[in-house]
Amino acid sequence: MSIRNILVPVDLDDETTWHKPLAMAVEYAGWSGAEVHVITVVPTDMLRMSIVAQAISEDIEEKLREQAKADLAAAVKSSVPDGVEVTQIVHMGKILPEILETARDIEADLIVMAAHKPTLGDFMTGSTTTQVIQRAPCSVWVVRD
């Protein structure tokens, strides 16, 4: 099986979700010739609530997207050696569907993502990593910190 496209989902608020997984994906891509795509998803659930929507500016989504692009570029710069190409993707919406849809769109052969210590909410609904493992259209490599 050849690996051509690797997807690395990251939470920009948690360095453990991107620092090691992104470095490992880039290293693996160097061996295999694969392309690395890194995605962050800005959750918009709260923005859709009517009481919140009334209190925020109309251009908040664009401002959030631009901030996420800048933050993602900084994360990539700190984890990826100079000269290595990484496609950066910022989506807005629900995290799990956006990751899965992107994996399908780029025809990912591998998703590389971090494991984390479970929170109370994870016991109720499952972590994003667990849900990706269960639903991904390709193999998932879980990286422990």
Task: List, for residues 84-103, the tens digit of each pLDDT value.
Answer: 999 999 999 999 999 999 99
pLDDT for position 60:
77
pLDDT for position 75:
94
pLDDT for position 63:
87
pLDDT for position 135:
96
pLDDT for position 52:
47
Cα 18 from Cα 39, distance rounded (Å): 10
Cα 72 from Cα 87, distance rounded (Å): 11
Residue type, position 89, single letter: I
- Model confidence pLDDT, tens digit, residues 121-136: 544 446 889 999 999 9
pLDDT for position 61:
79
If residue 28 lies in a helix (H) or strand (E), which one and from where to where?
helix 19-32
Give which of 113, 120, 71, 79 is closest to 96, Cα–Cα.
113
Fold type of domain 5-143: Rossmann fold (3.40.50)
pLDDT for position 39:
98
pLDDT for position 117:
64
Residue 128 neighbours by CB distance under 10 Å: 19
Low-confidence ranges of the chain (pLDDT < 70): 1, 45-58, 116-126
Residue 43 neighbours by CB distance under 10 Å: 13
